[in-house]
Amino acid sequence: MSELVRVDNLHKSFGELEVLKGIDLTVNAGETVVLLGSSGSGKSTLLRCINFMETPTSGRVHLNGESVGAEVNGTMRYKEADLCKLRARIGMVFQHFNLFPHMTVLQNVMEGQITVLGRGKEEAKDKSMAQLQRVGLADKASEFPARLSGGQKQRVAIARALAMDPEVMLFDEVTSALDPELVGEVLKTMRQLADEGMTMICVTHELGFAYHVANRVLFLNKGLIHEEGEPQKLLKNPKTQRMKEFLDGHALFKLPE
Amino acid sequence: MGYNWDFATIFQNWPVFWVGLKGTLLMFGITVVLGMSGGLVVGVLRYLRSPFAAWPARAFVEVFRNTPVLVQIIWFYYAFPILTGIETSPFLAAMLGISLNTMAFSAEIYRAGIQSIEKGQWEAGKAIGMTFAQTMRRIILPVALKRVLPALTNRGIEVFKMSTLASVVAYVETLNQAKLIADLNYNPIESYTAVALIFFVVLYPVVQATYVIERKLSRSDQ
């Protein structure tokens, strides 16, 4: 398996508060990695540093062996154009969907392809329809987002990210804002993606998803990777007290016997 | 109570009013376009984080928002030529005063609209690789403009009526012509009533039309 994403000694501070205190992480092509941790552990920040939604305070992020930025007088400087190019190669799905309300579902999925990748209208439309088909929403192509359920919105957001042909997909608590009955359809779509070989890094509280779909689980605590391993082993027999407490805290969580 | 209303003279002088109305429409057309498009630029600059852009934009807004338009017009007519050596016609002085004032006010409307857009929209644009300018143009502004349309309409109505202030430097517009007729025929009451009626007749249907447009534009929000 080839290395797709590598994070070296990543630090991120917001003012005085150091959220990430030196993260090393390698994700191989085709792998699904789940980041677990209580709120404030830094899992979302780590995810957002990978595509530079947040600029790391120090450390490097490599995608397919390349990294952006140059060191000037001991601090990293990034060119906006380089960051845009990098972000176009990384798909991201958010907790609150963030669909563009003034565009139809189809236009939402076409937008990045036309504006960022410079694809022609016809090509973008074909690709968009294919991705909407993939998430099971081709029949909603001409609807505006306001007419969709939360689960449908999130699947459109996934299609929008996929249409850019990303090398890796980042999922930031994508089911946390959904009604419980709608969580399933989104997780099913994600599982299908994982099965098709998409490289995925997911921040989630869905331990069932982590257990069944992830290749690897990382447990973050206080800005560091506290424990990591195969989900079947780690989720059933955490080695550390901290992770055991975290898992016990998920009262609804039941592992298959 | 014993006043004899005489609108016959007004009707006889209709061509004089018509010249004035054309002047009003010209002043409105130019100032509303310049003011609202220029205001968009100032509003976006005002929103930027860079102090080089935001600070001058803020200074501009504060100067033109906190001084009376009437004074600005007079100032551009009398003081501006002294300071710059550039002669200003009544038209140019009024146009500058009203346009710049409209720019300042509409800049604040645009800025408020841009600021009302959820952070997630910026993030979504950024996440698919859009630049700041692309996100602004494709994602933020279309929704922000739609949101501020009622406020802009209001400002537009204000700008239309503000054109009467141009009469202070004797620019030929409706109020100026009414004054002319009033002075010639000693009928100020009818003349100024006619001005009010003309403005109402022109504005009312336009405002009704904007309601229809607003309803149509809000289609995607339902």
H or E element that contains A58:
strand A58-63
Amino acid at A20: L
* Distance spanning both ends of chain A, measured CA to CA: 31
Q: Which residues contact B89 (CB under 8 A, 6 or more apart)?
A: none
Q: Residue B136's Cα: distance from chain center in Å?
A: 24
Candidates B124, B127, B221; nearest CB to A51: B127
- CA of A198 to nearest chain B CA: how many angstroms apart? 17
Rounded to whole angstroms, the Cα distance separating A26 from B33 reads 55
- Which chain A residues are Cβ-neighbours of B127 within 8 angstroms? 51, 53, 87, 90-92, 94, 161
Tokens of B20: 């004035």
Q: What is the pLDDT of residues B2-15, one digit of tens each?
A: 788 888 989 999 99
Count of all residues that appear for chain A in the document: 257
What 3-state DSSP class applies to A14?
Answer: strand
- The pTM of the full predicted model, rounded to 2 decimals, is 0.88
Is residue A75 very low, low, confident or very high in pLDDT (cuts 50, 70, 90)?
A: confident
Nearest residue on chain A to B118, judged by CA atoms?
Answer: A98
* Count of C-beta atoms within a 10 Å radius of residue A250: 13
| Residue B132 sits at the chain A interface (C-beta within 8 Å) | yes
* B154, pLDDT greater than 80: yes
- Which chain B residues are Cβ-neighbours of A112 within 8 angstroms? 128-130
> What is the sign of the dihedral through the CA atoms of A131, A132, A134 and A135?
positive
Q: What is the pLDDT of residues B24-55, one digit of tens each?
A: 999 999 999 999 999 999 999 999 878 888 89
Closest CA to B39 of B27, B31, B48, B50: B31
Are B127 and A94 in contact (CB < 8 Å)? yes
| Residue B219 sits at the chain A interface (C-beta within 8 Å) | yes
Closest CA to B119 of A244, A113, A154, A98: A98
Rounded to whole angstroms, the Cα distance separating A194 from A12 reads 29
Residue, of A255 and B42, whose pLDDT is higher? B42
Rounded to whole angstroms, the Cα distance separating A138 from A130 reads 8
Q: Which residues pair with A168 in a beta bridge?
A: A90
Instruction: Confirm whether the ipTM is greater than 0.95.
Output: no
Are B221 and A101 in contact (CB < 8 Å)? yes
| Residue B121 sits at the chain A interface (C-beta within 8 Å) | yes
* B71, pLDDT greater than 80: yes
Name the residue with tokens 């699904």: A32
Name the residue with tokens 């958010």: A94
